[in-house]
Amino acid sequence: MALTEAIMPYYTDWGSYLDYFQRYTLTGDVLASLALPVTIFTSEDDPVVAVDDFYRLPSNEYLRIHIQRYGGHCGFLDPFPRGCWYERHIAGIIENHENNA
């Protein structure tokens, strides 16, 4: 969280990182009312968002959480030139949804 606290004043309009997270955070109440499929990708080594929060989210039939060991914050990259593996995963989710609609 030290990284987040350090960069917030330079890259956002939020007064503090605490204010940002209070408004940005998806709490169990928000996710409990999902009516459409939602997939969240995160990693255990994310320096910005603590992975422990994801383990505490209430289950929901529409919510899928993929927790990877490594990936940092938006760092789920495959070696060049393949790009981000999660982009292919998301495309597969959408294709599967379209085929089952």
Mean per-residue pLDDT pooled into runs of 10, the chain (101 residues): 78 80 74 86 87 87 90 70 77 87 72
Query: CB–CB of 46/71 below 8 Å?
Result: yes
pTM over 0.75: no
What whole-number distance in Å separates Cα of residue 57 and Cα of residue 26? 9
Domain range for 30 is: 2-100
Partners of 39 in beta bridges: 64
Number of domains in the chain: 1
Which among 55, 11, 58, 8 has a CA at the least distance from the CA of 30?
58
CA distances from 70 to 18, 44, 97 (A): 25, 6, 27
Which tokens is 71 given? 């990936």
